Amino acid sequence: MQSRLWKLWSIQKQNWLDFWHAHSGDWHWLAEKPMPIAGLNRRLWRISVASFSFCLLLTLSSTIATLGLLANSVATIIGAMIIAPLMGPMVGMAYAMVVGNRRLLRRSFLTALTGVILTIVTSAAIAYTIGLRAVGSEILARANPTLIDLGVALAAGAAGSFANSRRSIADALPGVAIAVALVPPLSTIGIGIALGQQSLAVGALLLFLTNFTAIVFSGALVFLLQRYGNIQKAQRGLSISVFLLFLLGIPLGFSLKNLLVQENVRRNIGDLIRRQTLTFADRDIRSIRVRDFRGDALFVEIEISAPFGSISPLQVNLVRDFLSQKLEKPINLQVRAIPIEILESEPTSIDVP
C-alpha cells in the first residue's frame, strides 16, 4: 500500500514539474550559476577605475542632480541617479574585501574618493554660481536621514552585488542606482557648502556615509553567500563595517524617533484644531508642520486659506494656549494665512417660470 502511494505521488510530482517547465519559458528556478571568478574580476576591475568616462559621467550626473535639487524636480534627480557610475567602485570594494585583493580594494576606494570630491566640488560651484538661496523639500530630504535610509542602502548593496555576479540581470543596475541615490546626497553637501548652511552639509554627509558603508557591507555578504572568497579574508573588513554601521545607526535612530514623534504630534494637532477650535474649524487647512524641537517646545507651522483679515493675532495666541494645554507642552505657533477673495453674484433678474 505504501509503495503504491509513493508511486502515485511520484507520478503527480513529475506531472507538476512537466507543467511548470512547459509554462515557465526560459526561467529556471535558481538554475543560473554565478559568474566565474575570472570574469567577475575583469568586470569589477573595469568599473572600478577612475577613467575619463567615469569622471565625465559623474560630472554630468552631479550637474543634473544639483540643478534638480535646486529646482526641486524629482524627475531630474532620478535622471541624475541613472547615469551615475559611483556604485561600481563600491561593489568593487565589497568584492575585494571578501577575496583579499588589496590592489582592487585600493583602486576601488581611490576611485570612489575621486568621485566623491568631484561631485561635491561640481555641485558647490554650480550652486554658488546660480546663487539661488531657497532650500526645497528635495534638499531637506537628503539632510535628514533615518534608519529607513540604512535599510534601503543595505538592500541596494545586496542587489548591486547580486546583479554584478549574474549576466542575465545586469539591466537591473540602473534601478539599484535609483534606489540607493548616491549622487544627490553628495550634491546636497556641495549645495550646503555653497549656501553656508552647515546643517545641510552634515546631514547629507551622514546619509552618504550610511549608504557607502551599508553597500560595502551587504555587498560583501552577498559575495560570500555565493562562495566568492572566504570568511577569514573578509573578517576584518566586515568587523570594521559593522562597527561603522553601529556608530552611524545612533544618530539615524534618534532621527527616526524624532520623525515619528513629529508625525504623531502633527496628527494630534490636526485633530485638535479641526474639531475643537472655532478659529480653524471652517478653514481650509493646507498643511501642518512640526518644524523643530528645542528642549520641550514644539515649533508648529499651520498654512490655511482664509479671507484677508479674518484671523487676528489674538486668535492665534488663543489657539497656541489651547494646544499647549492639551499637549502639555509649550508651543510656538506660526500661522501662514493665504488670502482668498470670495465673490458672490447678484440675484438674477430673469423671471423663472
Q: What is the CATH number of the domain that holds 181?
A: 1.20.1080
The whole-number pLDDT of residue 62 equals 93
The whole-number pLDDT of residue 296 equals 67
Rounded to two decimals, the pTM is 0.76
Residue 350 lies in a domain: no
Q: How many domains does the chain have?
A: 2
Range of the domain at 280: 276-340
The whole-number pLDDT of residue 342 equals 65
What 3-state class would DSSP assign to 285? strand
Q: What is the CATH number of the domain that holds 290?
A: 3.30.300
DSSP state of 170: G
Summarize pLDDT for 169-196 with one digit per residue, the tens: 655 565 566 656 789 999 999 999 998 8
> Across the beta sheet with 297-307, what order do the strands follow?
284-294, 297-307, 331-340
The whole-number pLDDT of residue 29 equals 46
Beta bridge partners of 285: 304
The whole-number pLDDT of residue 276 equals 64
Residue 245's φ and ψ, nearest 5 degrees, are: -65, -35
Regions of the chain with pLDDT less than 70: 1-32, 168-180, 274, 276-283, 291-296, 340-353
Residues 286 and 248 in one domain: no
Residue ending a domain, choose from 200, 229, 257: 257
